[in-house]
Every structure is written in C-alpha cells, then in structure tokens.
Amino acid sequence: MDDSQPFRPSMSRRIFLRGLTAGAVVTALGGSTYVLASEEEEKAARETKRPDGRPRLPPSQYLLKALRPMGGTEGDPSPGAYKLKVWGEVDAPFEIDFAELLRMPQVEQTCDVHCVTKWTMLDSKWTGVRLSDLAARAKLKTTARHVVFEAVAGYTANVPLRDAMAPNVLVAHRHAGQALRVPHGAPARILVPDLYFWKSAKWLTGIRFVAADRPGYWETRGYHNHADPWKEERYG
C-alpha cells in the first residue's frame, strides 16, 4: 500500500488549528507526528502561482513542515536486496539493482507534494532517476499509453503516460539530503509530485508500461483514476 488512507472529510482549518501555533507538533492516530505550518504561510502559498498559473497550494489542502509517514506494507529496505523491473510495452525490458540505479544520471529537485488526506509539503527535496530516462533505456513502444507502478504486497498505482513522462517524475532514493527512510519507501519509490501522493508508490519493485489503463489498488476501491489535486480528484 502507499501514501493514502481511506479519505474522510476533515474538520475546518480554523477548528483544527484552534489553540495551536506554527510549528506545533500534532500526534495523529497511530502515533505518527507532524509539524504544522502557519496560516500566514498557507495564505502566501495560496496566493503564489505556479508556472502553469495554478495556485501553489491546491484547494482544501493545509501545509505541513515535513513529510508525513502514511503507512502501508513495508518492503525490504536493504539496497543490497533491491531489484527494479522495467517491462511491458517496451522493446528492451530490463531489471536493475540499486547500485546500477545509482550509476544512472541523477537528478536533484525541489518540488511540492500533496496527499489526498489534505496535507501538502512545500519545497520537498528529492534525488533520483527520471522515469523518462528509464523509459528511454527500455525503448518504449508507441503502443504504451499508461504506466503501472508496482510495489510490495501487490500494491499498484496507474498513471497516464503523459503525466509519467514529466521531467519531475523520479524513481527517488533520497529525500531531504538523506537516504529514504523505511516509512517513506526505502530504498526507492516513485515520485509523481503533480498528482495526489498515493500515485507515488513506495517500496517500488516494478514499472510496467501498458497499452490499456489498469486501475490500481486505491483506484479500484473508489479513489479517482487520475488524482489531480487542483481539481480535487479524490473520488472516482
């Protein structure tokens, strides 16, 4: 599974933050903690525009200061045991280990991530390999239209090829300057920052290019098939 829990309408920002200040540490169900941004920071994010003209903070989202663990079935975090399979509608399928992933061209990027449970983290720093580079190595067929990200315990997430080939989509192995922690998908996860975060499958094991769309774990359980945060595409 991945960065999603069954979505439920949340209480309003005003009620949620009553009595709290910026930097407050909140303990969620299950014992995980997260740090809130200030209302002033949220207001600035809503008023700031992305290059595509959309507000930096999507509708109904609130800001966190750090990436929040969201659970899921954990994979083996050992880099020595890691294998990533790239296959499907390609002419040259392949499998690489973690060392070979590190030998590929590396990208460092800063981006925002948005969870369907309504939190957003701005200026999240990642290091990894562009999915488009892996697709080029696999010699993508013209019949490919979608990508299925495969993870441990049978978890999958589907993304249209046009979204998956964006230059900010990575197989990420570092976050905030450090190797990924286990709760965030160590040793490697996919990162699709412009879709809700459940599409960014943790504990990634496979990238499968397909001709016909194949809805994934959450999509077959009522979540939206596309998951655009600015359109609030939470439910199908």
pLDDT, residue 226, reads: 98
Q: What is the distance between the alpha carbons of residues 79 and 186, in angstroms, rounded to a whole number?
A: 8
Q: What is the DSSP letter of 159?
A: E
Q: What is the distance between the alpha carbons of residues 146 and 166, in angstroms, rounded to a whole number?
A: 13
Q: What class does CATH assign to 13-72+81-231? A: alpha beta
Q: How many residues does the chain have?
A: 236
pLDDT, residue 69, reads: 86
Per-residue pLDDT tens over the stretch 58-89:
999 999 999 988 888 999 999 999 999 999 99
> In 174-198, which positions are buried (b, 16+ CB within 10 angstroms) versus exposed (e)?
bbeeeebeebbbbbbbbbbbbbbbb
Is the pLDDT at 33 greater than 50? The verdict is: yes
User: Residue 71: which residues within 8 A CB-CB, separation 6 or more?
Assistant: 1, 5, 30, 183
Helix (H) or strand (E) holding 135, with range, is helix 131-138
- Per the CB < 8 A criterion, the answer to whether 188 and 104 are in contact is no
pLDDT, residue 236, reads: 84
pLDDT, mean of residues 78-104: 98
Q: How far is CA 75 from the centre of its chain?
A: 16
Q: Is the pTM here over 0.85, yes or no? A: yes
Domain ranges of the chain: 13-72+81-231
pLDDT, residue 17, reads: 42
